[in-house]
Amino acid sequence: MPITEFLERNAKDYGDEIALIEINPQHSDHEDSWTEYSLVESAPEEAYRREISWYDFDRRANRFANLLLANGVRRGDKVAILLMNCLEWLPIYFGILKMGALAVPLNYRYSADEIKYCLDLSDSSLLVFGPEFEERVRSIQGQIPKVKMQFYVGGSCPEYAQSYFQYISYCSSRACGVKLEEEDDAAIYFSSGTTGFPKAILHKHRSLTHAALCEQNHHGQTRHDCFLCIPPLYHTGAKMHWFGSLVAGSRAVLLRGVSPKWILETASLEHCTIVRLLVPWAQDILDAIERGDVTLQDCRLDQWRLMHIGAQPVPPSLINRWRRVFPKHQYDTNYGLSESIGPGCVHLGVENIDHVGAIGKAGYGWEVKIVDPEGREVGPEEVGELIVKGPGVMTCYYHDEKATADSLKDGWLYTGDMARADKDGFIYLVDRKKDVIITGGENLYPVQIEDFIRSCDAVKDVAVIGRAHPRLGEIASAIIELKEGVEFSKEQMEEFCQALPRYKRPREIIFDKVPRNPTGKIEKPALRKKYGAVGLVAQQTGK
């Protein structure tokens, strides 16, 4: 069944019950109390707390579907979403799906050039964006000819766009009547290849539906649960974990902020039972508790039953520390890719806490293998490439036949991650075949950073590698070889890198010679060895 049928069922069966709550503590006038709330529907950037029922959720999705149809969007067209987490995000997403178009979520950290690139690659004909992106979108006007219309989700609409709130109010809230099938194309998500340029990942409705069933099977959501969603909804990991709430018909809270105080207060006041965290946020919470910045006695957290974590390798020492502070919590971790639609093609399971450090076994409805370069399955404790197979595997890399052929073989998705399995079948990540750096759950692509640094007149050569970091998992370290006779300080290089988006700036700058092999390729393994880039191995052993 298409994923939209869950929403329609919930609107019918649980219509008056709350579906989504948005908390924006940055706009609160009540620093010490969260008992007074502001309900603002027309200006999301000014709201503190807003909520919608399942009935309202479905009606808003229907209205957006009808708005798209009224403006010439047709089945199979692509509609891009560039929004921070907000109450409008999911109704817009489901409105796109309901009328047969493809949703194209964009990373809110993209630069203007990256937004332009992804709009073009995905063939998006319409863009929905929020006030945080006005200047970036303004800067590419006239450079995105495929985009025929832009809707602005905010207060003062810029002159080059149409007001979402103004137009949506005139649209019918009845279902648009488009018949969907599981094999219909549904969404395009973005990842990246070895060159660092984003790849467009095409998924069918069956992928989304399987993600929902997979998540609910793994974590047992019921209608009495409340899911605290903090990661960005453009990412498969956040949205597909929320899909478990969709299946169960239970509440979810979208928190716009990641401070320990906000997370714990939201979990307390909204009675959240399931919280999805990233490694840095979990560490920040524990550090804040130890420093006394937050006091658990002031929170009501008895209902919090599950903390699950993913998007990067999880240090066992962190989980052991978490369990000492929250001994009643169940813990789980999931491994997934945007190419395998998110929430757990490999899954640890709350019953396997004794295997902390492993990513787990095959998730619900999934098959997994670890293979050698010839595709033969390896034995226990042998290292090979992790490959997965199941209903959530992507259809293809959109407009990239070669990359598709390299990654999809006989229905198996080759993940590019090196792994081993112990004698009990639990899988442990060992290293990545590709040089992607995962820092705080976000992917960094060294080639992009290297190309930028090479544009500096003082630089002869540069290599960017990932180095292990106790909080972020990894950080980007730039090894820079200066031109002979040139003097250039670390501070000058940091200033030069200010032109990069903040999350792409190297956290370390090291001046040294960059080694290359006889074919001209940078010898990154030698640099990792020299600078102690122990990466995943140390994280998985907790050393």
Residues forming beta bridges with residue 83, ordered by sequence position: none
Burial class (CB within 10 angstroms; exposed 0-12, middle 13-18, buried 19+) of 432: middle
Region 337-363 average pLDDT = 90
Take residue 432 and report the two structure tokens written for it: 């990545």
Q: Which residue has the tokens 């503190």?
A: 48
Region 428-455 average pLDDT = 78
pLDDT at 192: 56
- In terms of DSSP H, where are the helices of 87-235? 89-98, 112-121, 134-139, 164-168, 205-219
3-state secondary structure of 482: strand
CA atoms within 13 A on the CB side of 42: 8
pLDDT at 534: 42
CA distances, 99 to each of 7, 70, 102, 251, 458 (Å): 14, 11, 9, 25, 53
| pLDDT reading at 38 higher than 90 | no
Domain 4-257 has CATH 1.10.645.10: no
Planar angle of CA 449, 455, 460, nearest 5 degrees: 95
| pLDDT reading at 254 higher than 80 | yes
- In terms of DSSP H, where are the helices of 459-506? 490-496
Q: What is the pLDDT of residues 220-241, one digit of tens each?
A: 999 999 999 998 999 888 899 9
Cα(331)–Cα(310) distance, integer angstroms: 11
Region 3-25 average pLDDT = 96
**pLDDT category of residue 529 using cuts at 50, 70 and 90:** confident
pLDDT at 270: 96
pLDDT at 311: 66
Strand 384-389 to 412-421 pairing? antiparallel
Cα(457)–Cα(153) distance, integer angstroms: 42
pLDDT at 214: 95
pLDDT at 34: 34
**pLDDT category of residue 419 using cuts at 50, 70 and 90:** confident
- CATH topology (fold) of 316-432: Luciferase; domain 3 (2.30.38)
Region 51-78 average pLDDT = 97
| pLDDT reading at 250 higher than 90 | yes
| pLDDT reading at 436 higher than 80 | no
| pLDDT reading at 510 higher than 90 | yes
φ/ψ of 192, rounded to 5, equals -150, 150
| pLDDT reading at 533 higher than 60 | no
**pLDDT category of residue 512 using cuts at 50, 70 and 90:** very high
Whether the Cβ atoms of residue 180 and residue 306 lie closer than 8 Å to each other = no
Strand 361-362 to 185-192 pairing? unpaired
Q: Which residue has the tokens 């060159």?
A: 195
Q: What is the pLDDT of residues 79-91, one digit of tens each?
A: 999 999 999 999 9
CA distances, 401 to each of 144, 198, 199, 200, 345 (Å): 24, 15, 11, 11, 24
- Those residues with Cβ within 8 angstroms of residue 492's Cβ, 6 or more apart along the chain or in another chain: 458
Q: What is the pLDDT of residues 364-416, one digit of tens each?
A: 999 999 999 999 999 999 988 999 999 999 999 999 999 999 999 999 999 98
pLDDT at 383: 86
Cα(296)–Cα(17) distance, integer angstroms: 29
pLDDT at 193: 43
Which amino acid belongs to residue 42? Answer: S
pLDDT at 48: 85
pLDDT at 30: 37
- Range of weakest confidence among 88-92, 276-280, 299-303, 430-434: 430-434
Cα(105)–Cα(127) distance, integer angstroms: 10
**Could you tell me the residue ranges of all domains in the chain?**
4-257, 316-432, 437-541
Whether the Cβ atoms of residue 509 and residue 480 lie closer than 8 Å to each other = yes
Give the right CATH number for 437-541 from 3.30.300.30, 3.40.50.150, 3.40.50.300, 3.40.50.740.
3.30.300.30
Whether the Cβ atoms of residue 425 and residue 458 lie closer than 8 Å to each other = no
| Between 257 and 95, residue with greater pLDDT | 95
Q: What is the pLDDT of residues 102-124, one digit of tens each?
A: 999 999 988 899 999 999 999 99
Region 500-509 average pLDDT = 91
Question: What is the per-residue DSSP string for 276-317?
Answer: EE-HHHHHHHHHHHHHTSS-GGGS--TT--EEEE-SS---HH
Region 331-343 average pLDDT = 88
pLDDT at 176: 95
Mean pLDDT of the chain: 88
